Amino acid sequence: MNMTMDSAIVYEAREIVCNTGKKLLQSGLVSGTWGNISQKLSDDYMIITPSGKEYEILTPEDMVLVNINDLTFETAGDNKPSSEKGLHAAIYKNRKEIRAIIHTHSPNACTVAAARREVPPLLDDMAQIIGPSLRVADYAISSTKKLVKCALKALVGRNAALLANHGAICLGRDMNEAFVTCEILEKSCRTFIEAEFLGGGVPIGGLEARIIHEYYLRKYSKLKKT
C-alpha cells in the first residue's frame, strides 16, 4: 500500500478505534471478540479493528490500515482486518459524510433483529439521531456482498440499522456520534420490547420524526464547524 498520510493522524485514529472498543466492552454493548469498529482517514483509507482479538487486550498497534477501494491492508503484526471490512468500506463510499462505523451485537438489538421487527420512533432521541425508524436489513450471511447490499438499503436516510438475526450497524460523523448512536439504538430496542408488554408503544408522527432528524443533522453539523 502507498500510504502517504501523516503518521500522527494514522496513530491518533488507531488510538480512537482501540479506545472505543474498550469503551464498548465496558458499556456491555459488545463482548469477547464480537463486533467491529472503524474510522475513516480519507476517501482511500480507514483504520479498523483486527479479526478475532478480544477488545480488552487490544493496543493501538493492533488496529489495521485498510484501503477502502480495494480492501488491501497493511498488516499489524499477525493481525488481519475484521471480516466485515467490505461492509465498512461500502458505507464510507456510499455515505461521504460518515467517518466512523460501529457494528455491535448488543442484547436488545439482537432480540429485535431476530424478530425482524422494524422499530418505530417511540423516543425523540431515536428520531433525532437514528432517523424516522430503525429498519431491519434482510438476512444475509456475514461478510458477503449480499449483506453489504441489504445493509446499505436499510441505512438509506438513517444513521443505524439492524441486521436480521445478527446485530446492528451504527454510523457517525465522528466516533463520538457513532458511539452515541449505539447507545440510543440499544435503548430504543429495549423500549420497543418492553412497550410490547403494555400493548405496544405509541410512536411519534412520521412528519415530526423526520423534522427532528433533519434539525439534528443541520444543527450538529453547524456546531462541529464552530
pTM of the model: 0.93
Would the pLDDT of 215 be above 90? yes
Would the pLDDT of 118 be above 90? yes
Residue ranges of alpha helices (H) inside 1-99 are 7-27, 85-94
What is the domain extent for residue 40? 7-225
Would the pLDDT of 1 be above 60? no
> Is 81 inside a domain boundary?
yes
Say if CB 14 and CB 66 are below 8 A apart. Answer: no
> Is 166 inside a domain boundary?
yes
> Is 49 inside a domain boundary?
yes
- For the beta carbon of residue 201, count every other beta carbon within 10 angstroms: 18
> Is 148 inside a domain boundary?
yes
pLDDT of residue 221: 62
Say if CB 162 and CB 135 are below 8 A apart. Answer: yes
Distance CA 159, CA 34 (A): 21
> Is 27 inside a domain boundary?
yes
Task: Say which CATH number the domain at 105 has.
Answer: 3.40.225.10
Residue linked to cell 499489524? 76
- How many domains are contained in the chain? 1
> Is 1 inside a domain boundary?
no
Weakest mean pLDDT among 47-56, 72-81, 217-226: 217-226
Would the pLDDT of 152 be above 90? yes
Catalytic residue numbers read 84
What φ, ψ does residue 34 adopt, rounded to 5°? -70, 150
> Is 153 inside a domain boundary?
yes
- For the beta carbon of residue 75, count every other beta carbon within 10 angstroms: 11
Mean pLDDT for the chain overall? 92
User: How confident is the model over 31-58, as pLDDT tens digits?
Assistant: 766 889 999 999 999 999 999 888 888 9
> Is 135 inside a domain boundary?
yes
